[in-house]
A and B are shown apart, each in its own frame.
Chain A
Amino acid sequence: MAGGAARQVDLDLLQRARDSLPGQLNAGILMGDGGFCVLGWMLYCAGFHEISLYANTVAVADPARGGPATDVVAAVFGLPVDDVVRLAQLNDEAPAAERHAAVARQLDELLAEARSQA
């Protein structure tokens, strides 16, 4: 779970999460307060049940794949943990009206970078 090393990025999964990104994202709760944050949405796209994400800011409650949300997203998507942390910070700190666009841009950059290294 160290900061930098990453496995192969799951491009299909990441693209799917990007393409279906909800128009509104909440600020920092995986699922709750009327929707998902980016991490919650990515986990949902990866097949995690809603209840494993519900009303939690930091943890995925899953008996097999649970743990800190950033670590789980990194492991499932094959992304570096630091990139996931930056994505989460961007989600949480962006003003509500600009959040979707900012997060979508960041996902596009991650996709482009992963493709260039593929």
Chain B
Amino acid sequence: MGQLDGGQIVIRSLKDHGVSHLFSLGGGHINPTWWEAERAGLRRIDVRHEAAALYAAEGWALATGELGVGMVTAGPGVTNALTGLATAYHDGVPVLCLAGAATTRGEDTGEVESLEQLELVRPVTKWARRVHHLERLPEQLAVAITEARSGRPGPTYLEVPIDLIHSSVDEEALSWPEPRRPLVPPTMPPPELIERAAQAIASAERPAVVAGSGVWWSGAGAELRALVERAGLPLVTRRAARGLLPDDHPLCFGQHWASVVYQADVLLVVGTQLDYFFGYGRFPHLRQLVQLDIHPGELGRNGAPVTVPLLGDAGATLAALTEALDPLDTKAWVAALSAQAEARALGRAELAAADRVPIHPLRVCAEIEAVAGREANVVTDGSNMLMWTDVGLGAYEPGRHASLGPLGTIGHGAGLALGMACARPDGPTVWAVGDGSFGFHCMELDTAARHGLPVTAVIFNNGGWSAAWIPLGERHYERMAPAFDGVGECVERPDQLRPALERAIGSGGPAIVNVFVDPAPPYFAGRRFRWEEDMPTPS
């Protein structure tokens, strides 16, 4: 038995819990952990800004369904990481943030990087603690990991003061908790509520399922597919649930929630918040709203008229619902939705195929899909441009798509892309980003270069911030690529797009494809879903 310092305890605990990657920016307050990570064989991805460390941890979690770990130094390291924590908190992503801190005796002395960090992070974490005794570090880390993963996932935070992380303790004074997940069997609603939910769905003329991130975190992709296919239910996938059924599955209508939910009369909403991004759960033609969530506070949020609240794990509950449901006759309803989707797709295809200059954003999406393929990791980053990427970039596998979350953070795509590229190296990683958002963390392409991560930034460059229409000018960001030993491409005409993307994505390293797109592109028709006229009369 020997002595272990704080860094050795942290890394051994992380390895015990299956952590293989650590996204971090080094600093004096976390040096022992930083050094031990390398010695112990954890892959350490050192980024250029602490927010990106947390974004990358989030990207890792979104791609794997498992915990992502970020580590930052004290003081400004923590304040820089705050937006990453807040983003993960609002998006319900399991992330652990390890932080350095000033010495235990340094408070109010003017010690470097001394800050009331816990007070800052508490509103944007599920659980936040400071380590006071090195002997308790393995236990506190285990709790932090369990809290991040359990229930509705989210970020947790653990800080170790610099005097503690550098100190040592006898190994025999330590105990190493077993990974705690799962502590209990998946929770289930009572059978009578399952039955009521099944009856509500079976009684519908236009039933549909909306699957959100909770399905992904529950690992319930197979149960979702079984329910949808057995009962013939149209499906919308949102956030981390994107790709659980591929967008080209005959029952999957991608993430076009409005096109389905504004026509549905009975909805089963699983693991998704009834928030701004989901119309606050108020849909005009709804007779019954069945909501399944792991978190009681989400049921009927914002006063949404939930008729059957199901509190429980997505996988177990969906399996029970599948057993309770017979196949339904949804052919006409699905056919009508498919016809509408096809009409919209035709409108989009027309815009995507047009050889107009400046280039339509949908053309860029079409070329990305053609070159990157179905196994690409796709991160979309921006605000207005998401209107194009949401419809123009399909999801065909789970854990391959990430985009703007409920907090509305932009510029985080570079970090997300790093995490996804580490987690899913079997496909290229495309960071589709607006020229405004590109500026936040474009230096992470340097991180990609140093770690051999094939991240291609495709900039939808419309010359400004679209939301506020503040011009940024006609910038040639592709000229930054040589600084990272990467490929830089400028695209002004549609015929240049595909070869530029092929060179960039094919390079296997970081690349920038700067596409000058139409700042005022025409949209496609489809303002209203006229179900009164489009729907067949029920027989």
Contact = CB atoms under 8 A, between A and B. Distances in A.
Contacts of A22: none
A28 B258 contact: no
B527 A63 contact: no
B218 interface: no
Interface string B255-281: 000110010000000000000110110
A111 interface: no
Given A55-B383, A71-B284, A93-B525, A3 B532 contact: yes
Contact of B282 (A34, A66, A85, A93): A66
Contact of A67 (B283, B387, B519): B283
A58 interface: yes
B520 A34 contact: yes
A59 B467 CA distance: 17
Interface residues of B, number: 34
B527 A85 contact: yes
A94 to B, nearest CB: 10
Interface in A61-115: 61-64, 66-71, 81, 85, 88-89, 92-93, 96
B27 interface: no
A57 B279 contact: no
Contacts of B522: 27-28, 92
A61 B527 contact: no
Interface residues of A, number: 35
B533 interface: yes
A28 B523 contact: yes
A34 B484 CA distance: 34
Given A34-B469, A55-B384, A67 B282 contact: yes
Contact of A85 (B277, B519, B520, B528): B528
A81 to B, nearest CB: 8
B466 interface: yes
B520 A26 contact: yes
B185 interface: no
13 contacts: A27-B522, A33-B520, A54-B467, A55-B384, A57-B387, A57-B523, A57-B526, A58-B526, A58-B527, A61-B279, A63-B303, A68-B284, A68-B527
